[in-house]
Amino acid sequence: MAGAATAASIPTLSCAWSAPRLVFDARFPEARRLARAMRGDDKAVAVAGDPTALLAWPLGPGDVLEGVTPEAAPFCLAQALGARASLRSSRLDRDLFVWSITMAAE
């Protein structure tokens, strides 16, 4: 894939949770590969398309949700979470973004 990001070129996003809080879009093999490079197989969760099921995860003040997905997923999540969330994202290639949503501290 010409111009595709490598694991070394994507931002390192931190997450202190023991439960998986890194998601990748299973429709994109590159997303899976990058998620594994970021966290390893046991720390990433596959999603396909609609990210709203992720809103069921308990997100408290200071928590971070990260992903390697198309742009719509983090945008929709940030909109649903409203002012409680801050979105940071970076384009990886023509399809994928690496992103983090940080919940505001109380």
| Cβ within 8 Å of residue 29, ≥6 positions away | none
Q: Name the percent of the chain lying above pLDDT 70.
A: 77
- Dihedral pair phi/psi, residue 99, rounded to 5°: -150, 165
pLDDT in tens, 70-89: 999 999 999 999 998 999 99
Residue ranges per structural domain of the chain: 27-48+61-106
Instruction: Determine contact, residues 44/36, Cβ cutoff 8 Å.
Output: yes
pLDDT in tens, 62-72: 888 899 999 99
**Residue 91 has what DSSP assignment?**
E
Inform me whether the pLDDT recorded for 12 exceeds 70: no
- For the entire predicted model, the pTM comes to 0.75
Burial class of residue 100 in the structure, from the number of CB atoms within 10 Å of its CB (0-12 exposed, 13-18 middle, 19+ buried): buried
